[in-house]
Structure 1
């Protein structure tokens, strides 16, 4: 397993995920709910920044690796799934939206794994649509975690819900996009033994 700064940042992101969840298990008399929201928001934002930064550094320093390419999306999916589960528990995200997003991530990850096994992974490489979907999620989640009014008039819950709905629509759209790209290979190799 290679070890460099980009991979260290990815591992840091994985380590931060339990903090986003765990802060809500602290007793309210230790940390009031508004402080829990703020702490979870800040931890999530730090984790999201490492997501951008590790990829930037890996490309800039030419430290990309197969392990990093595997670990980075796993960390992203764990981060989003963990935050969504917290938000569902806090009744800030609809169960169905969380199911759509988490279910899509599992389905497309499995599709990519299968496509890699048959040597066609480039067919389902990350698209700009997938990147926009991720950006919407990474914008919506901290707003929903923060769950308060900013500057006296910006309702982060309402704004976060709007971004999350857009993210859910893009999630479904991108899933069909990837399935359409993979469909010829699914038809050709789907029934063939490996």
Structure 2
């Protein structure tokens, strides 16, 4: 069981998302903030334990970014619906992730092999998106952030667009520089 603890923590983070989204939709931002903290702790802990115990698995490598994306995309959509996050930012976040998912499918079809490694820009982007979500929740809880949150929206928007374009360009170059996939029998 301890061997699988990092993946259990990641799965538990995914399981927290519906509750977090419900809390935000119900405007129970104080409790939502606590749940965000729990999600953040499990995110840090699962990565630390996987590396510490040399238990980095393919499943964990897939589940961890899924957990981040489900949390961020769901939160941004709910918060945009309430007017707490700009609709343009929600559109960029959803569009980028749809682009990455679609690009992954096409890349797999063209090359026969898919390896998704997060880029430095993508990591910064995820961090900024999470900061923006937490900032919007803080404002919902009555802690005004004003211009700081506004600049956070801009920074997250720039990194979201840049990261999406970077993945698109990198995968396009990689796909066309490789020999075609051999037909499967």
The TM-score normalised by the length of structure 1 is 0.80
Task: Using the TM superposition, give the Cα deviation of residue 135 of structure 1 relative to its aligned residue in structure 2, in angstroms.
Answer: 1.1
Offset of residue 119 of structure 1 = 5.1
Residues 133-183 of structure 1 show CA distances to partners (whole Å, capped at 9, x for unaligned) of 111111111110121554xxxx33542332122011101111111222122
| Equivalent residue pairs, number | 180
Q: Which moved more, 1:46-55 or 1:4-13?
A: 46-55
Aligned mates of 2:105, 2:52 — CA distance in 1: 27
Unaligned runs of 5+ in 2: none
Q: Structure 1 stretches (4+) deviating beyond 6 angstroms?
A: none
Could you say which structure has the greater relative contact order, defined with CA pairs below 8 angstroms and 6 or more residues apart?
2
Q: Secondary structure of 2:124's partner?
A: helix
Q: Which residue of 1 aligns with 2:56?
A: 64
Question: Closer, same or farther in 2 for the Cα pair 1:45/1:109, shift >3 Å?
Answer: farther
C-alpha deviation, 1:16, in angstroms: 1.1
Using a 3 Å threshold, how does the CA distance of structure 1 residues 157 and 47 change in structure 2: closer, same or farther? farther
TM-score (norm 2): 0.83
> Following the alignment from structure 1 to structure 2, what is the Cα–Cα distance between the partners of residues 119 and 60?
32
Q: Any conservation in 2 of the 1:140–1:159 contact (CA below 8 Å)?
A: no
Q: Which runs of 5+ in 1 are unaligned?
A: 27-32
Please report the RMSD computed on the Cα atoms of aligned residues, expressed in angstroms: 2.7
